[in-house]
Chains A and B, each alone.
Chain A
Amino acid sequence: MTNNNLKIPDLLNNLEIDLKIIVAARKLNDPLMIGIHSGGVWIAEQLHPRLKIQEPLGVMDISFYRDDFSQIGMHPKVKPSQLPAHMEGRDIILIDDVFYTGRTIRAALNEIFDYGRPNQVVLGVLIERDGRQVPIKPDCAGCTLRLPAGQRIKLTGPGTLGIEIQSINNVVTAV
């Protein structure tokens, strides 16, 4: 398959524009940006200055909230979440690299609510692909994509970000 649509600078630009529209339309007040470990953090690091957000970027590892712990166990490289203690009543921009089944976002929302009841949460992702399994959907995406089952998208980083589409047979890369 071709990857002409998967240029990271373009996807980031699209996402930035959409997020700015949403921030204005939904009147987000002093928003806190949170990236989901690890790809979501890399994307959030790019967006954080572009959206001129004052507060340091929050980092979230959702390993302890996953719904597949009893099937596959602990994620091998779990990292501490770095979130401010006061999230009660906050406006939050949640960032991830790839939206697929929606289960990661379900876990992330649960973790956020354990820190306090946010005012609103906006979800932005670099790539939204098909395959949702729970009724959760991003508010905006750098692009949407249909992929055959058995293929997955992986963001590589953190230096120069790249996108790999992995399947059993081949690995296609784009930067």
Chain B
Amino acid sequence: MKDLQLNKEGRLKHFLTIDGLNKDILTEILDVAESFSTMPAQKVNKVPLLRGKTIVNLFFENSTRTRTTFELAATRLSADVLSINIAASATSKGESLLDTIRNLEAMHVDMFVVRHAISGAGHFIAQNTAPHISVINAGDGQHAHPTQAMLDMFTIRQYKKKFDHLNVVIIGDILHSRVARSQIQALNVLGVKEIRVVAPKTLLPQNVESLGVKPFNNIEQGLEGSDVIMMLRLQKERMTSALLPNEREYFKCFGLTEERLKSASHDAIIMHPGPINRGVEIESSIADGSQSVILQQVTNGVAIRMAIMSLTMQSKGDVS
């Protein structure tokens, strides 16, 4: 499973999960993204790296931010982009995923960007698609959202320069969050000092310590001296049982407020993958406050996706 992402020279072929990628590969992604992030100074906001390539956005699950930034990233690399509206496509007429993929392959596409509600959908496509095609996971079920994690790492490096001295705290619905899973893996690979997770017991996975994190059920304790605060959205659509009393109660116990923020380092940055629920997981004034880097994360999403797209496409035709 791990080797699936790399070609025989150890370079990225697909980007499906942080799991199995080493520090060198993650650092290369961050470095390349840094070069792309200076591009907005250019009048023509494009580079010709992926000219003549066709990238297909396959979003089986709704997303505005992620899909838009993938489209922008592909366009800035001069690729042609197709965004397929799955709800209105043949899938809803009963076509299987593999048949959809085969049909798109027959149109000579070069890359699939896949978001799917089922964990492992990206791996499945990568295993079954034509050898010259690269697959990027734009979020699969509760499994992984590696491009979000990488744009978060990029944002952290932008503000904090280095990883090794950082106390990072992730607050919220860890149990249902593919973002948190990928963030934790990336933070471990890049070697931060400590990763803490804060959530009610019902929203923490069992044996969460085995992921290399320190769990807290008290937000003040978890925030104590933290340098980076990563908030998560309460994923009501994925909650099948009564895991929480109600949103007001959640905010009372786990919401990030001005008062609670005082226990963190004075220069701590506050992140959120969006969309934010103001007054549920985060106080509105904090989301718009001086320590918030939430909109910078969105900006960085384009550069990081350009880096990942170009790095996976450079090993085209080189099958592992």
Q: Is residue B218 contacting chain A, with contact meaning CB distance below 8 A? A: no
Contact of A82 among B38, B47, B310, B315 (CB under 8 A): B38
Q: Is residue B1 contacting chain A, with contact meaning CB distance below 8 A? A: no
**Quick one: given A64-B49, A65-B47, A73-B315, are A78 and B31 in contact (CB under 8 Å)?**
yes
B297 CB to nearest chain A CB (Å): 19
B306 CB to nearest chain A CB (Å): 9
| Chain B residue contacts of A114, Cβ below 8 A | 42-44, 46-47
Interface residues of B in 1-57 (CB under 8 A from A): 11, 28, 31-32, 34-38, 41-44, 46-49
Q: Chain A residue with minimal CB distance to B315?
A: A73
Contact A80 B42 (CB under 8 A): no
Interface residues of A in 61-112 (CB under 8 A from B): 61, 63-65, 69-70, 73-74, 76-85, 87-88, 110
A41 CB to nearest chain B CB (Å): 15
Distance A114 CA – B76 CA, assembled complex (angstroms):
12
Contact A80 B11 (CB under 8 A): no
Dominant SS among interface residues on chain A: loop
Q: How many A-B residue pairs have CB under 8 A?
A: 52
Contact A64 B38 (CB under 8 A): no
Contact B35 A78 (CB under 8 A): yes
Residues of A at the B interface (CB closer than 8 Å) are 61, 63-65, 69-70, 73-74, 76-85, 87-88, 110, 113-116
Task: Sample 16 A-B pairs with CB under 8 A, ordered by A number.
Answer: A64-B35, A69-B314, A70-B316, A73-B315, A74-B314, A78-B35, A79-B35, A81-B35, A81-B38, A82-B38, A83-B41, A84-B41, A114-B42, A114-B43, A115-B41, A115-B43
Residues of B at the A interface (CB closer than 8 Å) are 11, 28, 31-32, 34-38, 41-44, 46-49, 310-311, 314-316
Other A-B pairs, 16, CB within 8 Å; known A76-B28, A78-B32: A63-B35, A64-B35, A65-B48, A70-B316, A74-B310, A74-B311, A80-B37, A81-B35, A81-B38, A83-B41, A85-B41, A87-B43, A88-B43, A113-B44, A114-B46, A115-B42
The 4 closest A-B pairs by CB, nearest first: A73-B314, A64-B47, A114-B44, A80-B38
